[in-house]
Amino acid sequence: MNPMCRLGEIARFTLLALALVIPESVTATPSSSDPSDSLASAERPFVPGGYDDKPHLRGLFGHIALGGYAEAHAVWERVDGATEEAGFNLKRWNLLASSRVGRHVQMWAEVEFEDGGSEIVLELAQLDLELHPGMNLRAGMLLVPIGRFNLAHDGPRNAFTDRPLLATELVGSALSMPGFGLFGRVPLGGRGRGTYELYGVNGYHDGLLLASPDGTRLPEGRGNVEDNNASPAIATRLAWSPAEPHELGLSGFAGAYNRYRVDGVDVDEKRSVRIAAFDARTAALGIEWSGELAVISADIPPGLVGLFASRQAGWFVETTRSFGHGGLRTMPASYFSVGARVEGVDFDRDLAGDSRVQVTTGVHFHPSPESVLKLDYRRSRSRDRFNNSSEGAAVQLSFTSYF
Amino acid sequence: MNADRLHLERARVRPWRPSARVAAPVAILALGLGLAACGKLLTTAPAPGDLFDAPLDGLSAAELAAFAEGDAQFGRPFSVTEGLGPIFNNVSCASCHSGDGRGRPENALTRFSRGTDPARDVGGPQLQDKAIPGAEAEQLPAGVDRSRRLPPPVFGMGLLEAIPEADILANADATDSNGDGISGRPNWVTPPEFLPAHGGAPVVGRFSRKAQVSSILEQTIAAYHQDIGITTDFLAAENTNPLASVATEAADRVADPELPAAAVRSVVAYLRTLAPPAPGTETPARGRGRVVFGSIGCASCHVPSLRTGPSTIPALANRDVALYSDLLLHDMGDELADGRPDGQADGREWRTTPLWGLRVMRAFLNGQAFLLHDGRARSVAEAIEAHGGEAAAARDAYRALSGADRAALVDFVESR
């Protein structure tokens, strides 16, 4: 067939598909151009606590919403009686921006200045083409849907000063990758709904082995801005929520990380990383619960087997309870909360050792729902690759707020 | 209702609302109490004598600073992008020496040669069984003499180095002229050319399983090169697999040398000033064990104490060292023979292993013990039973002891 004819056919098919879909989306979305009327916020947020559920979105500046959050830490940490860290850190200062372009396009962005600006990352820059509540297009720098925490991890929303080990040490949160894909929500009777995200992304690169001195570490494989192996990965999350705030999520990720083909010549075996994650959150009797579990498998080159893990796992369960709402006369919007998190990571499931478990408890003061002063105590036990244990503990004071 | 009564009624119904004037002192008090308990809350340090990585007493601030820097370098793992490999055994010094003590059988090294020929043409003298992507790990070639070697403890090396050569030679008796069946002899080694100012003259080897290494600097440079695949200012050419189909260097991602001399020197300073763990408390049973240890002939090779000579580091100079070794080679018989010569040491000879750090070894091996050159013995009693050759008479005497004396002897040794 003449290539031009084929292009024309594809174009006609695409227009037909859009013609079928767009009228549905028009009826499904309000006619106002106000971002608060957007598809993403027509009902409850797509990701509660995530990209479309942040305070700055309520303050409209024309079609653009600007805001962010800051997070300052003070830490005193000791391991086996020796001080590892005692000092202060502007952990994060993040700028958030959102803009609506017409009725069907919305942009979301987040730029992160980490550790006093020593690291600057474009964490989120996604463009949404809103077609229908059940199917929308998303492209750009995406937060990879591996577990719920990676999608909703801002300091003011994080229950404790530190992020869970599973997120920081195993998956590499905040994990964002260039990608393209679909997302949507499906009503499931009453207040229930299901959501899905399905993206093609660049995946991790081989830094997860080659740049890591400590064994397999996925966070070292982030930043694959131009796909290193011309082999996209797949990331997806399915979530079911009978009502806010109850939700169960299942995530999956799979993709090659190494450069196995050069100029059409296979120079290595194709080696992949696979992640499966389960997340849940609920609330009962005024107590909020959430947790995640993730298992990772990675193909390891034969020369590194035994030193680099082919299997990893991590989990956390955390609970919080708020109290004393309006208890301070001078701060009527304030309240307190207490919480605890129990978590563990196993960096090498092929080995006894190379793991860590820790418990964190905290008392937090919220001057307003957007700000929180956290006082946390953390106790941990780490095991090295010889399976020798060491005890760690930390007192952390942090202040974080949206702006 | 008078004003006072009205005030009381209001106080009853009003919810508790602490003001900042109340909350702030309470918070400060709570914080103060918390800080007061921080010693326990924030973990406590083990006693230095229970560690393999504590510094010697009496070091100066500058020596302790060098110790701290060397400690960091010793623990530093290398990634591929930092120079690891291309062929190697492990990623750091500390990843073989658990807590700076002995290793486990899983990370034992395989040394191989053809007689005294280090077999460099087929990848000797050490098998590098790991490789970064793009390089080929070595396979043990046929027809070579091989020996499995457990990574030894690294504490106390500065004390061993400071013992004058003459004092080591004073215990040598290569021809067994005194007829006691013990014929210790030194391993005279020629320092390799990569050592600065080596001069080429043979010196007494005192480190490693067959005393084939003469200095901490030599051991450190060679370990970086052979074990981790890290080139240094002293030894700047990569270790290669000569049997690989593709040149090993082609896989290397970092220009050589990968580590400056300063980093190597800091590790040497660290190893030189690592203190041996403190022995256990003396008990009547251990006192009895000490006597038995001497009476059955163990102390003929495991010489209880040697004395250091002058040193630029005052903490190392002119002090008695309870190492329980003569640092000499002894024929240990078929039981322990590896059949592989190393320098002047033949395939049946081993350097007398210092008996120290045994009290806390299990704390750094997850409750286990791995003794002898390849970790085959899981207890001191098993290690004694494996002795042969010159030690056969002492072993037999051990077997003839009463149960109580055997237990006292083992308890004494394990308290070192």
Given a contact cutoff of 8 angstroms between Cβ atoms, the answer to whether B379 and B365 are in contact is: no
Residue of chain A whose Cα is closest to the Cα of B38? A395
For chain B, how many structural domains are there in total?
Answer: 2
The reply to whether residue B45 touches residue A395, judged by beta carbons under 8 angstroms, is no
- Residue A240 counted as domain residue: yes
The larger pLDDT score, comparing residue B281 to residue A25, is at B281
- Residue A250 counted as domain residue: yes
- Identify the domain containing residue A67 by its residue range: 31-402
The larger pLDDT score, comparing residue B26 to residue A382, is at A382
For chain A, how many structural domains are there in total?
Answer: 1
The reply to whether residue B366 touches residue A353, judged by beta carbons under 8 angstroms, is yes
Average pLDDT over every residue of B68-91? 97
- Residue A288 counted as domain residue: yes
The reply to whether residue B132 touches residue A213, judged by beta carbons under 8 angstroms, is no
Domain CATH code at residue A265: 2.40.160.10
Test the B interface: residue of A307, A308, A363 with most B CBs within 10 Å: A307
- Identify the domain containing residue B116 by its residue range: 52-272
Same domain, yes or no: B109 and B172 = yes
Q: For residue B21, what pLDDT is reported?
A: 58
Same domain, yes or no: B406 and B357 = yes
Is 60 exceeded by the pLDDT of residue B5? no
Same domain, yes or no: B219 and B194 = yes
d(CA B246, CA B225): 20
Domain CATH code at residue B346: 1.10.760.10
- Residue A23 counted as domain residue: no
Residue of chain B whose Cα is closest to the Cα of A79? B43
Same domain, yes or no: B265 and B363 = no
Query: What's the gap in Å between the CA of A95 and the closest CA on chain B?
Result: 32
The reply to whether residue A210 touches residue B77, judged by beta carbons under 8 angstroms, is no
Same domain, yes or no: B400 and B320 = yes
Average pLDDT over every residue of B251-277? 96
User: Could you tell me the two tokens for A97?
Assistant: 């921006």
Domain final position from B249, B272, B295: B272
- Residue B366 counted as domain residue: yes
* Strands B187-189 vs A311-323: parallel, antiparallel or unpaired: unpaired
Residue of chain A whose Cα is closest to the Cα of B76? A213
CB proximity A327 to B under 8 Å: yes
Same domain, yes or no: B236 and B306 = no
The reply to whether residue A329 touches residue B80, judged by beta carbons under 8 angstroms, is no
The reply to whether residue B42 touches residue A209, judged by beta carbons under 8 angstroms, is no
- Residue B409 counted as domain residue: yes
Query: What's the gap in Å between the CA of A138 and the closest CA on chain B?
Result: 35
CB proximity A334 to B under 8 Å: no
Residue of chain A whose Cα is closest to the Cα of B253? A210
Residue of chain B whose Cα is closest to the Cα of A335? B17
Q: Which of A196, A316, A175 lies closest to A247, judged by CA?
A: A196
Same domain, yes or no: B209 and B140 = yes
List B residues 265-284 in contact with A (Cβ-Cβ < 8 A).
Answer: none
Q: For residue A49, what pLDDT is reported?
A: 86
pLDDT digits (tens, 9 = 90+) for A21-50: 444 433 333 333 443 444 444 568 999 889
The reply to whether residue B366 touches residue A352, judged by beta carbons under 8 angstroms, is yes
CB proximity A43 to B under 8 Å: no
Dihedral angle, C-alpha A167, A170, A174, A179, nearest 10 °:
-130
- Residue A225 counted as domain residue: yes
- Residue A294 counted as domain residue: yes
Residues from chain A that touch B81, judged by Cβ atoms under 8 A, are 207, 210-211
Same domain, yes or no: B302 and B222 = no
Strand partners, A77: A85, A394
Q: For residue A38, what pLDDT is reported?
A: 42
Q: For residue B141, what pLDDT is reported?
A: 95
d(CA A110, CA A121): 9
pLDDT bracket for residue B23 (50, 70, 90): low
- Residue B28 counted as domain residue: no
- Residue B78 counted as domain residue: yes
> The complex's ipTM?
0.86
Average pLDDT over every residue of B22-37? 65
pLDDT digits (tens, 9 = 90+) for B129-174: 999 999 999 999 999 999 999 999 999 999 999 999 999 999 999 9
Same domain, yes or no: B290 and B341 = yes
Residues from chain A that touch B18, judged by Cβ atoms under 8 A, are 327-328
Is 90 exceeded by the pLDDT of residue B17? no
- Residue A9 counted as domain residue: no
Domain final position from B214, B243, B272: B272
Q: How many CB pairs under 8 A join A and B?
A: 100
Q: For residue A101, what pLDDT is reported?
A: 87
The reply to whether residue A81 touches residue B44, judged by beta carbons under 8 angstroms, is yes
Average pLDDT over every residue of B373-394? 96
- Residue A324 counted as domain residue: yes
d(CA B87, CA A302): 12
- Residue B23 counted as domain residue: no
Same domain, yes or no: B193 and B96 = yes
pTM of the entire predicted model: 0.87
- Residue B346 counted as domain residue: yes
Same domain, yes or no: B235 and B130 = yes
CB proximity B78 to A under 8 Å: yes
Q: For chain A, which ranges sit under pLDDT 70?
A: 1-43, 58-62
- Residue B326 counted as domain residue: yes
- Residue B10 counted as domain residue: no
Domain final position from B242, B272, B302: B272
Give me the half-sphere count of Cα atoms (radius 13 Å) on the Cβ side of residue B235. Answer: 22
pLDDT digits (tens, 9 = 90+) for B192-204: 888 887 677 899 9
pLDDT bracket for residue B72 (50, 70, 90): very high
Same domain, yes or no: B64 and B205 = yes
